[in-house]
Amino acid sequence: MTTANSPVADGRILVPGGYGAVGTAVAAILGQWFPGRVVPGGRSADRARQHGGVRVDVNDPQDFRTVLDRLGDVGAVVLCVEPPDESVARACLERGVHLVDIGADERLLGAVAALHDTALDSGASAVLSVGVAPGLSNLLARRAHEEVGGAQRIDLTVLLGSGERHGADAVRWTVAGLAAPTTARPLRVELPGHGLRTAHPFPFSDQHTLTGTLGVPRVTTRLCLDSRAATALLFGLRRTGLLRAADRPLPRRLLTDALGRVHLGGDAFVVRADAYRDGLHVARVARGLRQSRFTALVAAHVARHLLTGGPAPGVRHVEEVPALADLPERLAGDGLTVLRLTDGPR
């Protein structure tokens, strides 16, 4: 077992969820950068073995600790599946193992952020809010916030391609989000390449995190799909209240199955952050193809920073790590376009 205060900089990289939609790409990218050091993991012993990895269950903290201790030289864990609580993060940080978390659950991210002192004690670093949203959305929000000299309000808009094959875990998360209550209003917003679109409030974690990390009092994230018809259908269904009650698993399951199977649109995604201060307004936009791939690219870059960049110990959200501030531009070679839009005083 790794002792406290000794992160293994040249250790192996365990990727729980490492043969899922995002995890497969994370493992492939990291495998190119760190040959022979990536260990994908999942609950199926067969599938894990096929991918050269190990069986691991993040729902079972004891199992996860045993796997970490048995591997013995894990330098970083890139969590590509959402565990039920912060036990997995605690196991990593207590052992001085760096952590990258692509999870998007506000409550869970808060519980992991509370492990800051544990990470300080062991010398490990954890980066949270990693991916497209949260992730690129946090980084663009920070940029726009700084460009208006400290925003009073930020609106985040995410457009996802309904033709992309999102992983089962991500689809379940989306359907759960549709069932969550909301008080914010939809917004009409121009999304480069997709025209003027109606985006609907959606419980992405970034809007909660950013009020704390940037100190902006009002942050709202909204979602639309590239297909106008699919957007209208999904959010029309939300208005019916059919998905809301926790004791209605059937409509949720039917919708999860349908979303997993039906691929109506393309695979483009857009993230837009609008920051407002008095008469000032700046928008930062990033667009690309295949959000799963870009989630993986962001996660891989963050992992590389933790393993090679001499990171400060502690738990931080991605927008709190100065060395990652230019990550959107670094992804230009992978096809990410980053724009700055401004409409002057208003």
Ligand X SMILES: NC(=O)c1ccc[n+]([C@@H]2O[C@H](COP(=O)([O-])OP(=O)(O)OC[C@H]3O[C@@H](n4cnc5c(N)ncnc54)[C@H](OP(=O)(O)O)[C@@H]3O)[C@@H](O)[C@H]2O)c1
CB of 135 to ligand X, least distance (A): 5
Find all residues with CB under 8 Å of 73, minimum gap 6, and list them: 2, 8, 11, 12
How far does the chain reach from its first CA to its final CA, in angstroms?
58
CB closer to ligand X, 212 vs 310:
212
The 3-state DSSP class for residue 274 equals: strand
CB of 277 to ligand X, least distance (A): 27
Residues of this chain that interact with ligand X (CB under 6 A) are 16-17, 19-23, 42-44, 47, 56-59, 80-82, 102-104, 131-135, 166-170, 173, 292, 295
Q: CA separation (Å) from 37 to 8, 9, 140?
A: 12, 11, 31
Q: Write down the H helix ranges in 123-198.
A: 136-147, 168-179
Angle between helices 168-179 and 21-33 (to 10 degrees): 130
Whole-angstrom Cα distance, residue 18 to residue 21? 8
Nearest approach in angstroms of CB 14 to ligand X is: 11
Q: Note the Cα 144 to chain centre separation in Å.
A: 19
Phi, psi of 220, rounded to the nearest 5 degrees: -130, 135
> CB 6 → ligand X: shortest distance, Å?
26
Q: What is the dihedral of CA 14, 17, 22, 28, to 10 degrees?
A: 40
* Kind plus residue range of the DSSP H or E element containing 212: helix 206-213
Nearer to ligand X, 257 or 343 (CB): 257
CB nearer ligand X, residue 135 or residue 313: 135
CA atoms within 13 A on the CB side of 286: 31
Residue whose CB is less far from ligand X, 133 or 315 = 133
- Of the two residues 21 and 151, which places its CB atom closer to ligand X in the complex? 21
Location of structure tokens 């690309």 = 288
Structure tokens at 250: 């059937």
CB of 54 to ligand X, least distance (A): 10
Q: How far is the CB of 110 from ligand X (least distance, A)?
A: 15
194 Rama class: left (phi>0) / alpha (psi -120 to 50) / beta? alpha
Question: Do the beta carbons of residue 298 and residue 269 sit within 8 Å?
Answer: no
Q: What is residue 162's three-state secondary structure?
A: coil
Q: How far is the CB of 169 from ligand X (least distance, A)?
A: 3
Q: Which is nearer to ligand X, 122 or 221 (CB)?
A: 221
- If the CB atoms of residues 67 and 280 are measured against ligand X, the closer one turns out to be 67
| Separation between Cα atoms, residue 338 and residue 193, nearest integer Å | 13
Instruction: Tell me whether residue 56 or residue 97 sits nearer to ligand X (CB atom).
Output: 56
The DSSP secondary-structure symbol of 267 reads S
Smallest distance from the beta carbon of 287 to ligand X, in angstroms? Answer: 15
Q: Which C-beta is closer to ligand X: that of 170 or that of 223?
A: 170
Min CB(113)–ligand X separation in Å: 15
